[in-house]
Amino acid sequence: MEKKYRPNVSAIVLSPKYPFSCEIFIAQRSDIKGAWQFPQGGIDKGETPRMAILRELEEEIGTRNVEILAQYPQWLSYDFPKHALEKMKPYAGQKQRYFLVRLRDASEINIFTDDAEFNEFKFVKTGEVLNHVRSFKRDVYSKVLKYFKKEGFLC
């Protein structure tokens, strides 16, 4: 049987100091201690990935005051870990579109939104991101970060 993947978007959010400093936003999930990630979320019916990423940023970090710098050219997918499969049925994982965005004003970040998915956030250097994320997302994160670095967006 073919695996079913949930359409999703994710944002690599650069601090307002970019391009003078290359710091990337990561946040800890409020439901899983130690699980750090980029803002992400599902694409609603009738939404384009671009519309979805702006909505998700507003829902998860309290702002859509960003400049979209680039988009990864393909969909990327990952499988959910075994312990999450039951909760995420009928999906085996997520297929995602990644956007690279620059935050216009860091003071606008508010992770304590109505349905807060995060309880902590920080900006880290590009080379530190993979030290914080869960193993099942590392390959995709690595691929996206390498691509944006190769394209001259990340240091």
Q: Based on the structure, what is the number of domains in the chain?
A: 1
Measured distance CA(17)–CA(61) in Å, rounded? 18
| Boundaries of domain holding 51 | 5-150
Residue 92's CATH number: 3.90.79.10
Element (H, E) at 144: helix 135-150
Question: Residue with structure tokens 């997520």?
Answer: 94
| pLDDT band, residue 2 (cuts 50/70/90) | confident
On the question of pLDDT at 149 being above 80, the answer is yes
Asked, for residue 155, whether it belongs to a domain, the answer is: no
- Within the chain, how many helices (H) and strands (E) appear? 3, 8
On the question of pLDDT at 1 being above 80, the answer is no
CA-atom Rg of the chain in angstroms: 15
Which pTM was predicted? 0.94
How would you classify the pairing of strands 36-37 and 23-29?
antiparallel
Rounded mean pLDDT of 114-141?
Answer: 94
pLDDT digits (tens, 9 = 90+) for 53-76: 999 999 999 999 999 999 999 999
Asked, for residue 131, whether it belongs to a domain, the answer is: yes
